[in-house]
Amino acid sequence: MTTRIRPSVRALHAYTPGEQPAGEGVLKLNTNENPYPPSPRVAEALARFAADDLRTYPDPQCRELRERLAERHGCGPDQVVVGNGSDEILALCLRAFVRRDRAAGWFDPSYSLYPVLAAIEDLPARPVSLTEDFAWTDPDLGEADLFFVTHPNAPTSLEFPKARIADLADRFSGVLVVDEAYVDFAETDCLDLALSRDNVIVTRSFSKSWSLAGARLGYAVGPSELIGALFKIKDSYNVSRLAQTVGLAALSDPETFDARIAAIRSTRGTATDALRTRGFWVADSRTNFIWTRPPAPHRAQ
Ligand code: PMP
């Protein structure tokens, strides 16, 4: 039978998004969302938003948002690119940095979207197994042009030693993408690596710590040369006016942000202790979710 669909797309095992339960009485957290609402300034900005502004396209450069993010991170706006969720940035990185005959790598287990994005691009995949207790193993990056490090990692909730990440960046001739979707709940971050190395990009998300998963907003910080390449290939209007508006409103209220993070860390500690008291094995989570195994004879399934 003939088909018009590319073989790699035909063979693709598509990413399965988390279940979207409907109805009342459900606090949806299964894609690691934030249980708290975004800053009240987000609601205020939406109330002020003029529907007529939707007639025209959004700022393709996301100038104001990039300026605020650059201030927050102590870098230039040319070192920041904003995307339709950090997922878009991850896909752009593969398209911008991996040559056709070269590979992309990541740790296993880590974010299950990476293999899907690589398969869509027809790129050879180089998953690198973590140790049995989900700790770092030095990857052999032979023919890889790009390696994703999820820090802290998902689904394990654990941080990697930052010195190992820095050392990997220094030994790697390709681009190291440090996916920091959960980093606001962690102890260490790799932003300084992205601002001091010519081959490190850090990606961040508004979906978890900023309570804005529904707005679809993420960004990358890194050397202006690499960020410029992502700019070159992104869709012109990849971030809607509404998303830019709510992102700016959220960033203008770091106090609410800090309070929500503190509340989630505190709940994480209480929940971890309660589960351990009941005999569960629980990883020392540095994220907004918990990686746990129930005591025998119970099974997680
Ligand atoms: N990276 C990791 C490790 C994630 O778990 C997620 C959320 N599923 C993302 C990136 C994507 O986040 P965003 O909503 O910003 O696209």
Q: What is the per-residue pLDDT across 58-70, written as a single tens digit (0 to 9) for each? A: 999 999 999 999 9
Ligand 1 atom nearest 110 alpha carbon = 3
Instruction: Determine the distance separating the centroid of ligand 1 and the alpha carbon of 29, expressed in angstroms.
Output: 13
DSSP code, position 5: S
Band of pLDDT at residue 17, cut at 50, 70 and 90: confident
Band of pLDDT at residue 268, cut at 50, 70 and 90: very high
Mean pLDDT (whole number) for 174-199: 98
Asked if the peptide bond before residue 60 counts as cis, ω within 30 degrees of 0, the response is: no
Instruction: Determine the distance separating the centroid of ligand 1 and the alpha carbon of 225, expressed in angstroms.
Output: 24
Order of strands, edge to edge, in the sheet holding 103-108? 80-83, 218-221, 200-205, 175-179, 144-150, 103-108, 125-129
Residue positions counted in the chain = 301
Mean pLDDT (whole number) for 42-62: 98
Nearest CA to ligand 1 atom 4: 181
Mean pLDDT (whole number) for 111-134: 95
Ligand 1 atom nearest 31 alpha carbon = 8
Instruction: Determine the distance separating the centroid of ligand 1 and the alpha carbon of 300, expressed in angstroms.
Output: 23
Mean pLDDT (whole number) for 247-266: 98
The per-residue pLDDT for range 98-120, each reduced to its tens digit, is 999 899 999 999 999 999 999 99
Name the strand (E) or helix (H) holding 119: helix 113-120
Band of pLDDT at residue 18, cut at 50, 70 and 90: confident
Instruction: Determine the distance separating the centroid of ligand 1 and the alpha carbon of 247, expressed in angstroms.
Output: 16
- pLDDT score at 224: 98
Percentages (nearest 5) of helix, strand, coil residues in the chain: 40, 15, 45
Residue 121 has pLDDT above 90, yes or no: yes
Mean pLDDT (whole number) for 157-161: 97
Range in 4-18, 207-221, 250-264 the model is least confident about: 4-18
Mean pLDDT (whole number) for 71-87: 98
Ligand 1 atom nearest 87 alpha carbon = 16
Lining ligand 1 with CB less than 6 A are 31, 85-87, 111, 150, 154, 179, 181, 205, 207, 213, 218
Percent of residues, the chain, with pLDDT higher than 70: 100
pLDDT, the chain, mean: 95
- pLDDT score at 1: 63
Instruction: Determine the distance separating the centroid of ligand 1 and the alpha carbon of 180, expressed in angstroms.
Output: 9
Residue 141 has pLDDT above 90, yes or no: no
Nearest CA to ligand 1 atom 6: 181
Tokens of 122: 């027809």
Range in 10-19, 185-194, 224-233 the model is least confident about: 10-19
Ligand 1 atom nearest 204 alpha carbon = 15
Ligand 1 atom nearest 179 alpha carbon = 1
Residue 27 has pLDDT above 70, yes or no: yes
